[in-house]
Every structure is written in C-alpha cells, then in structure tokens.
Amino acid sequence: MESNRPRYCLGLLIMFMVVFSLGIERTANDYILAIVSFTGINIILAVSLNVTNGFAGLFSLGHPAFMAIGGYTTALLTFSMEKKPLFLPDLPQWLIPVHLPFFPALLVGGCFAALVAQIVGISVLRLKGHYLAVATMGFLIIVQVLLNNANSITRGPLGLNGLEEFTNVSWVAGWVVVTIYTCWKIKFSSLGRSMLAVKEDSMAANSLGVDLFYTRNFALTVGAFFAGVAGGLWGHLITAVTPGSFSLIMSFNIIVMVVVGGTGSITGSVTAAIIFTLAIECFRPLEENFGIYGVGEIVISLVLILILIFKPSGMFGTGEPKFVTGKYKQLSPTNGK
C-alpha cells in the first residue's frame, strides 16, 4: 500500500548530495564549505535527537554528552602518532599504539556513545517527562566534569586540539543520507510505531505487548549513535574537541531545531536545522561588527517561545509532508495537540 514516493525522494536526495558535494567542494571557498558542513552536522544532530525525543517522546538534554563521547573517542583514535607523546604524555599504555583511519574511528565513536547510552538508559529511562530531561541534563554535566578532569586522556579544559581536518562536505553529506535513511526506516517500521505508541500512552502500549524498556532504550541508543558520529565529524571539522563546547547551550540549540521543525517530523528537523545554521551564521558577523553579543541567542529563544505559544506542533507537526510520502495517507498519529 505504501507509495513509492519516499524511494524516489531517497534517490533524489542521494543524487543531489553527490552532485552538490562534488560541485561545492570544487567551487566554494573554505568559509562556505565550513557552513555547509555545520549545516549537515546539525541535520544529523536534529534528526537523531528526533528519534529519541520526537518518536519515543524521551525528552533528552543529553545529546551533546553523546556527541562529546563520540567526538573524544574519534579524536583519540585518529590522533597523530607523532604528536601523541607530546600532547598526551600520561596516556594509558594500552591506548598509545591504538590508531584508526577516520571512518572506522567514527564508527567506533558512534558505537561507544551508543554503548554509554545503553548504560545510562538502564538507570534514567524509568523517569518520564521533564524529570527525564533533568536527569539527562545531570548526565551531561557529569560528562563535562569528567572530561574536564580526566587530564591524562582528555587534556582537561584544554581539550584535544590539532586534530586533522578529515571532515569535508562529502563525509558529512554521506552521513546525512545514512542518518535520514535510517531514521526514516525506523519511523515507518513496527518498532517506530511502537515508539509512537509508547510516547502516546505507555501503559496502553505495554498492555498490547510493546516492551517499554527495549523500545525506549533503542530510541535513546540510536540517537546516541548518530550524536557520537556527529561529534566525531564536528571535532574533525573545527580540528578540536573541548569540554566547554558540548554544553547545555548546544543541547538547547538542537532542541530548538527539533521543536521548530515539529517534534517527530524528519522533514521538519532537516528544514529547521538548515534554517537554524544559516540564521546563526547571519547573526555572527552582526554580533562581531556591532559588538552586540548575544543577539543571536536572544532571537532564537524568542522564536522558540513564540512557536511554543502559537504553534506548538512546529512547522510539520509529527508527520511528513505529502510531497515526500506520496499520496497515501501515512501511518502516524494525529498531528500534535
């Protein structure tokens, strides 16, 4: 019964990404390339948080913590063998010879973030609503404190800098496609429908045989995996990972993207991530030239509050627009209240 439209859209997306990244890498300057890469990373972050937050309704503020875990792991794995003794003289013995190329390092980073999510999930997933939000925020702060203090591995507040600039538009584009594809598949699978059921009414879902814990934990883990990958890409884009960058502000920014786009809508997250990144880039020169620091965040928080008051379902609600899904009505709950 499903329309073929999503498949065409996927094909189109892949083709566009290939042409776009090849084209732009040949023509654009470094500044543009960096913005495009940031946009892609934000798309990965928003779409993956949407799995946790939008599909399963687990309001997590811990996304940057998973990013940090992935980012640091990837950075350590790809850290240049020559610089290691200089930068990290106290590195544990077993870590010194470990070295991986970028792609497997990213995967390991993502998997490690996912593993941590599994462990965190066991403890915090029995909380719900804003209590879960606060617990995941606590987790984020704990991760920050640990990164700040585990000097021998993380160099404390200095962070790991001098990373090689592996991340380019093609890498990001590839991961964007993988993220969107995976999350789309999840949303329209039976597991995705279980997540929606758990979000709407966990007790009813449970009585129908949905394993609450497994479903929730899966949603958190998938989100964490992609956050970890995004962290790795991010670190190798700005060539440094520091504890301060994976902050509550970052968490807030990703949530703004998800809420503005429509909690639960992949199309919404993608659109909002693009708008958000571009808006931030427009504010940056404004702030620097006129010395009006903070204006960007003020506008963003204002937009968020206005959306929460006047259109809490965001741009696309919980569903996907018709031009992506085709004419058949999709299996999704009523659009947000």
Task: List residues binding other proteins (CB under 8 A).
Answer: 59, 123-124, 126-131, 133-135, 137-139, 141-142, 145-146, 148-149, 249, 252, 255-256, 259, 292-295, 297-298, 300-302, 304-305, 308-309, 312, 337
| Rounded-to-integer distance, Cα 28 and Cα 193, Å | 42
Cβ(65)–Cβ(245) under 8 Å?
A: no
State the helix-helix crossing angle for 169-187 and 190-200, rounded to 10 degrees.
70
Beta-carbon count within 10 A of 115 CB:
15
CB of residue 52 vs other proteins: minimum separation in angstroms?
13
CB of residue 243 vs other proteins: minimum separation in angstroms?
12
Nearer to other proteins, 153 or 304 (CB): 304
Nearer to other proteins, 95 or 127 (CB): 127
Nearer to other proteins, 58 or 229 (CB): 58
CB of residue 205 vs other proteins: minimum separation in angstroms?
17
CB of residue 7 vs other proteins: minimum separation in angstroms?
34
Nearer to other proteins, 256 or 324 (CB): 256
CB of residue 28 vs other proteins: minimum separation in angstroms?
31
**Residues in Cβ contact with 83 at an 8 Å cutoff, skipping those fewer than 6 apart:** 162
| Rounded-to-integer distance, Cα 49 and Cα 102, Å | 24
Q: Where are the alpha helices (DSSP H) in the chain?
A: 5-27, 30-50, 63-78, 84-87, 102-124, 129-149, 151-154, 169-187, 190-200, 202-207, 212-238, 248-261, 266-290, 295-310, 322-325
Beta-carbon count within 10 A of 147 CB:
26
CB of residue 251 vs other proteins: minimum separation in angstroms?
9
List b or e across 80-96, with b for residues whose CB sees 16 or more CB atoms inside 10 angstroms.
eeeebeeebeebeeeee
Nearer to other proteins, 2 or 200 (CB): 200
Radius of gyration for the chain, computed over Cα atoms and rounded to the nearest angstrom? 20
| Rounded-to-integer distance, Cα 10 and Cα 14, Å | 6
Alpha carbon distance, N-terminus to C-terminus of the chain: 28
Question: Closest by alpha carbon to 38, among 276, 243, 261?
Answer: 276
CB of residue 137 vs other proteins: minimum separation in angstroms?
8
Nearer to other proteins, 75 or 140 (CB): 140
Nearer to other proteins, 48 or 253 (CB): 253
